[in-house]
Amino acid sequence: MKTLATWLVRGAEFVAAMMMAAMFLTFILQILVRYSAPFEGLARAVPLLEPSRYGWTLEFCLALWVWIIFWGAAFVVRERDHVTFDMVYGHVSPRTRTWFAIIGSLAVCAGLLWSLEPTWSKFHILRLKKTATLNSLVGDWVRMRDIYSIYMVFLVAVSMRYAWRAWAAFRHGADAGLHRGDEMVER
């Protein structure tokens, strides 16, 4: 089971890395086209450098950025990497920390799950809206709903992670696998 979890984490990291690479390469393409645009003869000699062909790059980078943020938050960022305000948390008994973790995790889980239906209702209208420029790259089938669908994945994945966090805190205590300041010192 641990091997499967490791493969899933590595796969999620790989997907995030590939999205970042695609965004970087698109950004480099934007720079190349932008700085070759003043040389009109260059665009006639090399039709691939015609600036009018690359209007999609900005929207593509923006879509990738949305996906990278929500994919990374849902599947890549570890619990102990989150910024926490633990001035009170660190000064209470382990039993109280466990209850803090359970209540906090269940609150996050409930809040995200509660927002699923209103979010899905807003996504209904996005099925009609086309992207401004991506159709020249991928065709007419991409809708704004498709671009923002990663947010629904984020809501479900993070709520599941926090439900698991509540269950793990209930079974093993709040500090199991989290807030390892001592690991930093040992390195």
Split at pLDDT 50, 70, 90, the class of 177 is low
Q: What's the rounded Cα separation, in Å, for the pair 35 and 137?
A: 21
> pLDDT tens for residues 91-136?
888 899 899 999 999 999 999 999 999 999 888 887 777 777 777 7
Q: What's the rounded Cα separation, in Å, for the pair 15 and 76?
A: 10
pTM of the full structure? 0.81
Q: Letter for the amino acid at 102?
A: I
Cβ neighbours of residue 152 closer than 8 Å, sequence gap 6 or more: 116, 119, 120, 123
| Mean pLDDT, the chain, whole residue set | 85
Residue pair 97/175 in contact by the 8 Å Cβ criterion: yes
> pLDDT tens for residues 28-69?
999 988 888 787 787 778 877 777 778 888 889 999 999 999
Cβ neighbours of residue 153 closer than 8 Å, sequence gap 6 or more: 70, 71, 74
